[in-house]
Amino acid sequence: MSIDQFKRIVTSADELTELLGSPSESGVKKQLSELDDHMKSFIAASPFLLLGTVSRDGRCDVSPRGDLPDVGKVLDSRTLVIPDWKGNRRVDSLRNIIETGRVGLLFLTPGLGETLRVNGRACVIRDDDVLASMSKLGKQPLLGIGVEVEECFFQCAKALIRSTLWEWSAEHSDPPPFDFAEILVDQTKIKGLEVEPLRQQIEESYKDRLW
């Protein structure tokens, strides 16, 4: 199966406008070319963002980034930095940034339905003074992502309201069944890899190797 199975595909911006209409005046004018004080305050309170990148050959990637607030450090109205903490060392996002120098960010703050979207140029940085300013629990990130803001705007809360994301515990008594260790063993099919030792390894990394 592929997207070729779909028979009614929208193929132009004009068709989109015909179907959905045009954005309101406020929907257009809310887009800014630099961070204002409201956006800076939102970033300062945000512990989580989604980082979207694209490779030279068009492969897209979205990576979650989390930190003790703030997950991104605002240097000025046109520049912010995201620390790169320990992960799985795939470095998909960093590799894409090196190749194309483009990012799209979505900042989230628990309890708030509105989100902040930031798009612009990016680079992978090693500036010690900047990285030292983002140290957590006595540890300094080895790398960071520098972002030059080109466009930024707040997104309304409808998506998070529909998802009941922040009301999950009230709406759902139990989390969905999900065992990351079992999934990795099944997907990777690595000889000798067993669920219980892998589960312990994952739990230890969550406890001791977040920064």
Pair 112, 75: CB distance under 8 Å: no
What pLDDT is attached to residue 75?
A: 97
Cis peptide before 84 (omega within 30 of 0): no
Same domain, yes or no: 186 and 144:
no
Residues 22 and 108 in one domain: yes
Q: Does 71 fall in a domain?
A: yes
**How far apart, in whole angstroms, are the C-alpha atoms of residue 138 and residue 208?**
13
The whole-number pLDDT of residue 86 equals: 83
pTM of this structure: 0.89
| CA–CA separation, 63 and 95 (whole Å) | 12
Q: What is the pLDDT of residue 152?
A: 97
Q: What is the pLDDT of residues 147-197, one digit of tens each?
A: 999 999 999 999 999 998 888 765 566 766 789 999 999 999 999 999 999
Give a yes or no: residue 48 inside a domain: yes
Expressed in percent and rounded to 5, the helix, strand and coil fractions of the chain are: 35, 25, 35
**Enclosing domain of residue 45:** 13-163
In a domain, 168, yes or no: no
Contact 97, 145 (CB under 8 A): yes
Interhelix angle 180-188/195-208, nearest 10 degrees: 120
Q: Is residue 7 part of a domain?
A: no
Segments of the chain scoring below 50 in pLDDT: none
Nearest to residue 125, comparing CAs of 64, 70, 73?
73
Residue 55 resides in a domain: yes
Q: Are 63 and 55 in contact (CB under 8 A)?
A: no
- Give domain status of residue 6, yes or no: no
